[in-house]
Structure 1
Amino acid sequence: MRNWVGAGLDVCWVLVFVAIGRAAHDEAGGLAGFAGTAWPFLVGLAAGWGGLRAWRRVDALVPTGAGVWAATVAVGMLLRALSGQGVAVAFTVVAALFLGAGLLGWRAAGRMAARRTAVEK
């Protein structure tokens, strides 16, 4: 898989998380509000990609996927707390589960598809 595709999937999943969360809580604010919610998690995602050099094995479930997921949640929550945004336990759990489903999910699906293709050859 191309690195930019993997990065794009990760970024899109974070943005979907933000969009669903803001819609579920009837939060308005347009683009500025959306960006205010998204930036901590996007910075966390970037930290995970940079720290793990995820571009080397973008589709690896472990350590890349797990590490990117952990960094996205941990750094995202830390930055939310430092910027005065909410980090309630329930929100942290939901964020961890949702982000994990996507950041690990596409990697797991890709591995299964690759195995299936290899078996068919």
Structure 2
Amino acid sequence: MRRPRIPVLALVADAVAVLVFAAIGRASHEEAGSVVGLLGTAAPFLVGVVAAWASPWVRAHPVGIRAGGLVLAGTAVLGLLLRAAFTGRLPLSFAIVTVVSLAVLLLGWRGIAALTSRLSHRRTSVR
């Protein structure tokens, strides 16, 4: 049985992952630590998260690795396209770092959740 709060928590986890990505990127380029700057950097990718979450598959299986792949694709593709539209450029190195970083963050928390769930299930079935 799926708990109603799981999709909400998964969406929040995806948004936090994008904010962490943006914060690390800004810090690595020694950009000012303002909240407005962080949100401006994260905004195109947050739009991608929201668009990916429009998929019924993501909403039905929000913690699954397949859903994570869809969220990663939507976030990276739409985020990079929007960023390129606003900045007028998209360096290949930035695109590669973006996809790899978002993959680690968006798929990473799902992998940890799956592992934790399996370990918890084994403990309860042994008793």
TM over 0.5: yes
Higher alpha-carbon Rg: 2
**Whole-angstrom distance in 1 between the partners of 2:93 and 2:100:** 11
Q: Note the residue ranges of structure 2 that are not aligned, 5 or more in a row.
A: none
Q: Note if 1:74 corresponds to 2:97.
A: no
Q: 1:32 to 1:43 in 2, by over 3 A?
A: same
Once the 2 structures are TM-superposed, how far is the Cα of residue 29 of structure 1 from its aligned partner?
6.9
**1:105 counterpart (108, 114, 119):** 108
**Whole-angstrom distance in 1 between the partners of 2:29 and 2:89:** 13
Q: Note if 1:91 corresponds to 2:94.
A: yes
Percent of aligned pairs with the same amino acid? 36
Q: Note the residue ranges of structure 1 that are not aligned, 5 or more in a row.
A: none
Q: How many residues align?
A: 120
The more displaced of 95-104 and 81-90 is 81-90
Q: Note if 1:9 corresponds to 2:13.
A: yes
Please report the TM-score for the alignment, with normalisation by the length of structure 1.
0.90
Once the 2 structures are TM-superposed, how far is the Cα of residue 112 of structure 1 from its aligned partner?
1.3
Q: 1:67 to 1:100 in 2, by over 3 A?
A: same
**Map of 1:49 onto structure 2:** 53
Task: For 1:108, give the aligned amino acid.
Answer: G
Once the 2 structures are TM-superposed, how far is the Cα of residue 66 of structure 1 from its aligned partner?
0.3
Once the 2 structures are TM-superposed, how far is the Cα of residue 33 of structure 1 from its aligned partner?
2.1
Cα deviation 1:55-78 (Å, max 9, x = unaligned)? 21111111x110100110000000
**Whole-angstrom distance in 1 between the partners of 2:71 and 2:52:** 4
Contact 2:46 2:79 in 1 (8 A): yes
Contact 2:27 2:33 in 1 (8 A): no
**Whole-angstrom distance in 2 between the partners of 1:33 and 1:14:** 14
**2:35 counterpart (18, 26, 31):** 31
What CA RMSD, in Å, does the superposition of the two structures yield over aligned residues? 1.6
SS in 1 for 2:80: helix
**Whole-angstrom distance in 2 between the partners of 1:102 and 1:15:** 10
